[in-house]
Each structure stands twice: as C-alpha cells, then as structure tokens.
C-alpha cells in the first residue's frame, strides 16, 4: 500500500466520521469499527481512488446507516431536532388517550369543513370588500345577496374537498393542511373580535374595540336614557351639531326613543356601526320645540366667561323639569356628562337641553354616589346644565378615544 | 425497476446465507456476494447489514490476527441466525413463486 493510499484512506475515513456525527456515539462506534479495514482492503485491491469504488464519503455514511437501520432511512438525513420531533410524536401516539381523542377529532371533521368554508368567505370578504360582516347580515342589500350566495357555495366546496381529501396525493394533503392553518389563524381572532363587538353600539372606534372595553362600569358600554332628544349649545349660545356625549365612565349616552316615535336615523361610522350618541339626533318626525332656547340665551352677554355666565333664567327653567332630570341621573348612574366633537376633541362648556327646551340637569339628589357641583353664574345661582360639571376635572377616567372617521356624517353606501 | 431497492430487502438473507457456508470477515462477504452476482449492492450496505445482524443477535464475531494486514473481524452464524435464515428462505421461495406467477414466468423456472 502506497503512502498516497494511506492518505486517501485517512481523509475518506475522516469524512465518513464527520458525516455520521449526528449518530449517537455508541451506534457510531459500532458502525465505524471496521471502516479502516474495509478501506484498506479496497485500496489493496485496486489502485483507483476510494471515491471511484465507493462513492463519496457522505454516500458511504448514508448507505451504512441505512443498512444498519438507524432512525434515518437513508433517503434523507435526519437532524437532531427531527429525531426529537419523531420521538415526541411516537410518545404521543403511544399514549392511551391518543386513540379516543383522535377518533373524536375525526368525528368533528365535517363540522370543521363547514366552519372553515364560512371563515374563508369572511376572510375573503374582509380582504376584498374591506368591511367586516356580522355573523348574520342584512339580506336586503345587493352585496349581502352576494354574501348569501358565496357562503353556501364555499361551504359546499370545503366539504367536497374534505370528503375527497384522502384521495389527494401526498403533496396535496400538506397544502390543504397549510391552508387550514392559515384560515384558522387569520380568521379566528376576527371572530373573537366580532363576538366582543356584538353588544356594543357606542361611539365609532375605527374598529379598535380594545380601547373601548375599559369602562369601569362593566355591564354596558352605553347608557340608554329616556329622552326625546338632546340639543347641545356652546357657551355663547349657539346650537352645536354632531356632539358626542359620554358619561363620567366613558359610556356612550344613548336615548331610548320615546313611545310612539320611530328610531332615529343614526349616522353610521366608518366601522359600519351606528353612532347613537351623536346629538342632536336627526329626528325626521318631531321638530324640536326649542323656542325657549333662543330667547333665553339672548339675554346673556356672549363676551362673558363661562363661569360668569349670567343664566338665572335657564337655571330656573331647569328647576321646573327636575323631576325628569333627577330620574335621569338616578336611574342611569350618570354623575357627569362629557361632550366631544366628531373630530374627537373634548368640548368644554357645553349646555344641554332636551327637545322641549328644558335644561338637562343632574343633581345631588339624583345620584347614589359621587358628588355634583355646578358652576355658578354671577348672580350666585348654579348653572346646572353646563357640562362637564365641576367635580371632575379630567375628561372620562377611562381611555375612551372617540376617534371618528372623516366620513362620519354620511353612511358609506355601496 | 431499480435493482438496488430490490436487493436491499433481501440483503439480510443473502448475508446470512453466505455466512452459513463459512465464517467470514466484512470485505470477504462483499467479495463473495459480488462473485455470486450481487454486484449492485454497495460495500457500505453490506457492512451496515453485518452490523445490524450482529446487533440483532443472529451472528457471532471474533477477531483473527493477520500477518500482512490489520486484524480481521470474522462473523459466523449462530442458532438464532440459522432459524431466521430458514424462515427467510421459506418466505423468499413462496414470494418468488408468487412473483413468477404474477409475471407469467412459470415456464422459465
């Protein structure tokens, strides 16, 4: 044997050892026991390089291992993590609970086929139309008719695919599994969000429900008050439009229609939810009887600062209607009212009147907790419908951003 | 059809059969299988098969010092190996017969 033969053997053997480095040490020792002997026999037989007779060291290692029957079957080299995954899987399969759980899940498959079809439509709908769709949508609009056609069609397709999935070649079942996972991951959070949105009819949130969930009064996001309408006025007695009202906890203040009145035409936000706490409400039927309003503020001097607003007349007026206003506070737990412009700006010094021109007042007798303190006019009398009331400096304690889309006032129609 | 894949399945039987005739070391087994016509099986496959059969308890092994080269590790078949071989021969015979029938080669057998 020549020196070059020895070098050839040494380097070939070293390469084989490297290729087998992932094999557990015990097995590797056994496998490599005869390696040098083998190589020198081959070299002694012919002068040709080892790679010519035996192939590459990597091939040699793969073949050796495959014939020996380690976990790798020779067609691919299993890395350490792949072996661990395989071990973990075989452990799972060996558990007694595995079979019943598996057969239970197999029983559930038709349900999943239907669900994933529905979810796929939701996903596509949100991507293509860009608007969230509720679990049940209004069937009297054209796009919703499309929705009603799409849902059963895609569900049928999904079930068809599911029933035929066994006939798919190997590669396809992987693709189907991947699509399943994508649909589930993308849509399930959306479904969870939908379910949190259902009871909520408050201010538009640009779809950001998470920040609304903050009100301390957890039982609702809105306070429904039995009044016909609310008319906000500025400090200098100009009627204001598009003012959003919230209570001290950031709950939207929503009016329940008085008996005999139809539901107002609430504007719709960019998130396609009705905005019910924007005032004055657009009432088709009843024109507000605010005759009192222009006359009373007219006596006031617009130049006055808010705290020095002379307004005994209105304060007195409000006294006349306290019976109703008391109920307002008591029944609904409202201790303060905060007004926002539709641009989301907190408005200071807003005066609120109802549809009869009567001041909307909260007073101490009407609340079970908290304290009411009014601003006083120059005559020393309190101005009771001047909001927000003094007892609370900071606008709502809750993170309640009334972010509004630019196209608030018109419901986007298609 | 790739003969290599076909051979792998019967390599155990072939190696056991070679060792039943005579104890032998790794490269000698390679050579004898080659001479018998199994020249498409890689050396490494035969070495790996020897190791596996040994681990499975069908072979004995012992080292023989050699004058001109390295010491050689000889393998011999034991009782277990003989039983396995007998069983395999039966399986192979019936399998080969079935295959011949399937392939309509009866006349040539």
The alpha carbon of residue B37 is apart from the nearest alpha carbon of chain A, in Å, by: 17
Joined together, the tokens standing for residue A28 give: 């590797």
From the list B49, B51, B70, the residue facing A30 with the nearest CB is B51
Q: Give the whole-angstrom CA distance, residue A231 versus residue A356.
A: 10
Domain ranges within chain A, ordered by starting residue: 3-94, 106-197, 209-387
Q: Give the whole-angstrom CA distance, residue A166 versus residue A168.
A: 5
Q: Give the whole-angstrom CA distance, residue B101 versus residue B95.
A: 10
Domains of chain B: 3-108 (1.10.10.10)
> Would you give per-residue pLDDT tens digits along chain A (414 residues)?
677 778 888 889 999 988 888 888 888 888 888 888 888 888 888 778 888 888 889 889 988 888 887 544 333 444 556 666 767 777 787 778 888 888 888 888 889 889 888 888 877 777 776 555 555 555 566 667 777 888 889 899 988 888 877 666 656 667 777 777 777 777 666 666 555 444 433 443 443 333 333 333 434 456 666 677 788 888 777 888 888 888 877 777 877 766 666 677 777 766 667 777 888 887 644 444 443 333 333 333 333 333 333 333 333 333 443 333 434 545 566 778 888 887 777 888 888 887 777 777 776 655 555 667 777 777 777 777 888 887 766 666 444 444 554 444 444 444
Q: What local confidence, expressed as pLDDT, does residue A1 receive?
A: 61
Q: Does B27 touch chain A (CB under 8 A)?
A: yes
Picking from A31, A56, A17, A11, the residue whose alpha carbon sits closest to that of residue B42 is: A56
Per DSSP, chain A holds a count of helices (H) and strands (E) of 12, 11
Q: Give the whole-angstrom CA distance, residue A373 versus residue B87.
A: 101
Coil vs helix vs strand at A200:
coil
Chain B stretch 40-99, residues whose beta carbon is closer than 8 A to a beta carbon of chain A:
42-49, 51-52, 55, 69-70, 72-73
Q: Which H or E element spans position A382?
A: strand A382-383
Q: What local confidence, expressed as pLDDT, does residue A398 receive?
A: 44
Q: How far is CA A42 from CA A8, A24, A37, A61, B62, in A?
A: 11, 27, 9, 16, 21
The alpha carbon of residue B76 is apart from the nearest alpha carbon of chain A, in Å, by: 16
């Amino acid at each position: 044997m020549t020196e070059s033969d020895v070098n050839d053997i040494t380097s070939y053997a070293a390469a084989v050892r490297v290729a087998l480095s992932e094999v557990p040490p015990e097995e590797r020792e056994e496998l490599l026991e005869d390696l040098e002997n083998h190589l020198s026999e081959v070299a002694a037989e012919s002068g040709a390089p080892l790679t010519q007779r035996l192939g590459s060291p990597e091939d040699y290692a793969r073949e050796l291992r495959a014939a020996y029957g380690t976990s790798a079957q020779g067609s691919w080299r299993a890395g350490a993590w792949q072996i661990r995954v395989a071990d973990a899987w075989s452990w799972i399969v060996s558990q007694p609970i595995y079979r019943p759980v598996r057969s239970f899940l197999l029983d559930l498959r038709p349900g999943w086929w239907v669900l994933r079809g529905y979810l796929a439509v939701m996903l596509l709908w949100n991507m293509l139309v860009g608007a969230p769709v509720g679990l049940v949508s209004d069937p009297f609009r054209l796009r919703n008719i499309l929705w009603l056609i799409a849902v059963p069609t895609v569900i049928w397709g999904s079930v068809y695919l599911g029933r035929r999935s066994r006939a798919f070649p190997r590669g396809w079942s992987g693709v189907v599994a991947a699509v399943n996972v994508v649909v589930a991951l993308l849509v399930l959070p959306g479904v969870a969000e939908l379910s949190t949105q259902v009871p909520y009819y408050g201010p538009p949130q640009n779809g950001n429900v998470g920040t609304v969930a903050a009100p301390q009064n957890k039982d609702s996001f809105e306070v429904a008050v039995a009044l016909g309408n609310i008319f906000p006025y500025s400090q200098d007695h100009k009627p204001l439009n598009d003012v959003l009202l919230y209570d001290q906890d950031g709950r939207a203040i929503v009016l329940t229609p008085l008996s005999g009145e139809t539901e107002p035409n609430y504007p719709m936000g960019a998130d396609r939810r009705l905005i019910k706490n924007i005032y004055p409400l657009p009432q088709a039927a009843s024109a507000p009887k605010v005759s009192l309003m222009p006359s009373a503020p007219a006596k006031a001097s617009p130049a006055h600062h808010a705290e020095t607003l002379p307004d005994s007349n209105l304060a007195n007026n409000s006294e006349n209607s306290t019976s109703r206003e008391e109920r307002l506070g008591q029944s609904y737990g409202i201790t303060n009212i905060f007004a926002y412009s539709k641009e989301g700006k907190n408005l200071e010094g807003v005066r609120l009147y109802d549809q009869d021109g009567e001041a909307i007042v909260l007073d101490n007798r009407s609340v079970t907790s908290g304290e009411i303190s009014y601003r006083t006019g120059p005559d020393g009398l309190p101005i009771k419908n001047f909001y927000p009331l003094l007892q609370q400096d900071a606008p709502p304690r809750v993170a309640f951003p009334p972010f509004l889309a630019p196209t608030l006032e018109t419901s986007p129609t298609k | 059809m790739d003969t290599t894949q076909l051979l792998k399945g019967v390599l155990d039987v072939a190696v056991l059969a070679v060792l039943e005739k005579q104890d032998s070391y790794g490269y000698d087994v390679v050579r004898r299988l080659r001479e018998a016509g199994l020249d498409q099986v890689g050396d490494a496959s035969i070495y790996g098969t020897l190791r596996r059969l040994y681990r499975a308890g069908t072979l004995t092994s012992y080292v023989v010092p050699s004058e001109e080269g390295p010491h050689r590790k000889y393998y011999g078949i034991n009782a277990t190996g003989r039983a396995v071989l007998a069983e395999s021969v039966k399986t192979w015979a019936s399998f080969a017969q079935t295959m011949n029938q399937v392939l309509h080669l009866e006349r040539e057998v």
